[in-house]
Chain A
């Protein structure tokens, strides 16, 4: 019996050690940029020769970096508005008004997720050449919306499916209007899904490079494209400063979504205990 227990303990410890090593593999490449960004050295060095904010000054002092960042934020915000609106409408139709053939339409709307992005980019590029959309703000927003749409549709379909229709029916029975019911019943239930869709749409655009390489033209240098070009030619710690700032944004967004999810879960469990 005792032998059995120690026999079980050892694999258990090994399992944890293995898991911790894998988690380290996942996380170390994310955080390693932080010390490099505060380095005083000109070259990539580890450990850094001294502390300096030199590379942050480089980033904030260079209008090209700032312009690229502002452009990326503007594009991503437009994509969020478009993809969440269009995706919610499509999801509403898919969940509430099914008709024969809707399954096929649903798969069609998901295909941009399946086809490799280089192929989508080449295809969009060839059409944009004839529409004169190369290098235009609108062109990039539309292209990114195509990539974000599958995410918003999936998330909003899940959101609409979660709604207990009886709540809305009850509201109507008691004389509430469609608008009132939507505003006070449907929307609050949908809020977590809308939030998640917005985040996914933002990231789909914010992190996208391949489309922009093809259709960005001269005017469309987004932050990821500028980083990509930088990494191909010269590597200096300015990019570590940019990476650290991006990492902080990522962690903030992540903490936001986790907080949202945990709050939602807490609220649900409270409701569950009431019932």
Chain B
């Protein structure tokens, strides 16, 4: 009785959730979904109706090159972060919880630091007269400065630095759930380190590898700031290209490329959902 009096009943009750969802839905529909659909429309209507823009993208070798560059940079970052993260996540998952949390601070602090600060830091470190080159020259390890900045190397290093925490957290959340008595059982029965790792630990950690790699690859596809600041024109990614086209008011090809990028990303997220479920992604955001 007090329950009903409190909450009201009937039609009002059924409208209440929509009332609560309305502001969020209005924002997302008006400022996100509607603009996105307009963008798709523009890609087939500007300047003339038809699929000319897509034909142009597919037949132009320089545009293929841009798509390829983006995919390769993303793949390189995925491999680098996986190699860096795997042993670290393993170590963190094996430490007592309090100590792991303490070390996790190193992983989480970059999340809170402005991307621009990090970009500037990489310029200071990798520049022609940057810290690394000065150190190498000073130690007599090289006679001339190495070209470390404004190339592929700098872009992959800068992006991997940004993406590494995502990989570490994805792997860690899987590894923390692995029952370690399985590994002990295997080695007590005479299995070598290599065998135990290949046959038991690696397969058990695969969900983390899939989750981390897909997430890093997807995020890597959308990078704009890092390639724009640390790369050369050869590191023109899809995002950089889109921005350039819009700046030059070349809406047709710019929007076509945007639709292609969204297509790739959505397809990869569908794979993520199939393999691991979206809930995992939401949880990893919430857990931070």
A residues bordering B, Cβ < 8 Å? Answer: 11, 15-16, 18-19, 22-23, 25-30, 32-33, 36, 43-46, 85-87, 89-90, 92-94, 97-99, 102, 105, 107-120, 122-127, 142-143, 145-146, 149-151, 153-155, 157-158, 172, 178, 203, 206-207, 209-210, 213-214, 224, 227-228, 231-232, 235, 239-240, 243, 246-247, 250-251, 253-254, 258
Describe A's contact surface by its main secondary structure.
Answer: helix
Contact between A151 and B265, CB atoms less than 8 A apart: no
Q: Which residues of A contact B123 (CB under 8 A)?
A: 44, 231, 235
Contact (Cβ within 8 A) B116 A231: yes
Q: How far is the CB of A184 from chain B (nearest CB, A)?
A: 16
Chain B hits for A246, CB < 8 A: 113-114, 116-117
Judge whether B165 and A117 touch: CB under 8 Å. Answer: no
List 26 A–B pairs whose Cβ atoms lie within 8 Å, in order of A's numbering: A11-B193, A15-B91, A26-B106, A26-B107, A26-B164, A29-B122, A29-B125, A90-B25, A93-B20, A97-B16, A111-B28, A114-B266, A115-B262, A116-B261, A118-B222, A118-B242, A119-B222, A127-B31, A127-B34, A149-B28, A207-B116, A214-B246, A239-B120, A243-B121, A254-B109, A258-B105
Main secondary structure of the interface of B (DSSP, over half): helix
Asked whether B64 is an interface residue with its Cβ less than 8 Å from the other chain, the reply is: no
Instruction: List 7 other contacts, CB 8 Å, given A19-B103, A30-B118.
Output: A22-B164, A85-B23, A90-B20, A118-B261, A127-B38, A206-B114, A210-B224
Chain B interface size band reads 35 or more
> Which residues of chain B come closer than 8 Å to A145, judged between CB atoms?
27
Closest Cβ–Cβ distance, residue A44 to chain B (whole Å): 6
The answer on a CB contact under 8 Å between A89 and B27 is: no
Q: Is the CB of B88 within 8 A of A19?
A: yes
Q: Which of B112, B121, B165 contacts A32 (CB 8 A)?
A: B121
0/1 interface trace, chain B 198-237, chain A, CB 8 Å (1 if under): 0000000000000000000010011011001100000000
**Complex partner residue of B87 from A19, A115, A119, A207, CB under 8 angstroms:** A19
CB proximity of B148 to chain A, nearest CB, Å: 13
Q: Distance in Å from the Cβ of B142 to the closest Cβ of chain A?
A: 16
CA distance A43 to B105 in the complex (A): 33
**Partner among B20, B32, B124 whose Cβ is within 8 Å of the Cβ of A111:** B32
Residues 134-164 of B at the A interface (beta carbon under 8 Å): 134, 161, 164
B285 on interface, CB distance cutoff 8 Å? yes
Q: With a CB–CB cut-off of 8 A, which chain A residues contact B114?
A: 206-207, 224, 227, 243, 246, 250
